[in-house]
Amino acid sequence: MSITEFATITAPVRSEQTAAITDAEAALPVLVRVMKDNTDESKHVRNILYSLWQAGSRASLSEITALEWETRKAMCAVVLAFGCERERFGFFWMDAIEEALTKAGLFDWFLGGGR
């Protein structure tokens, strides 16, 4: 396969990933607002995000069923984009989530298990 053929095949995927990252970046403030409330829903959001961040930490995907609809859609957007390559900034990894939590003053809470 030539480089041109490879680029042609992967272009739609890269376009979809770019759109997923844009959606995830817009969804992060929703998740941050939920975590600020320090409710049961906050803890479910934290557990799912933390399991992405710490691969050794396991959260059940069924925790997503405990989320309100708007929160669930925001979480799905972040999960979909997680690990996708961004054109200018590397990958959409935990750095984007960490930055949003730090700005909200929640990163220590996040690391501390949501207590």
Q: Annotate 53-115 with DSSP letters as a single string.
A: HSTTS---GGGGGGS-HHHHHHHHHHHHHTTPEETTTEE-SHHHHHHHHHHTT-HHHHHTT--
CB contact set of 49 (below 8 Å; sequence gap of 6+): 31, 78, 97, 110
Residue 76: what pLDDT?
Answer: 95
> How many domains does the chain fold into?
1
Over residues 97-110, the mean pLDDT reads 92
The string of pLDDT tens digits covering residues 64-102 is 999 999 999 999 999 999 888 766 556 767 788 889 999
pLDDT of residue 1 exceeding 90, the answer is no
The string of pLDDT tens digits covering residues 5-56 is 877 887 888 889 889 989 999 999 999 999 999 899 999 999 999 988 877 6
The tokens for 42 are 């906050």
Question: Residue 70 belongs to what domain range?
Answer: 3-111
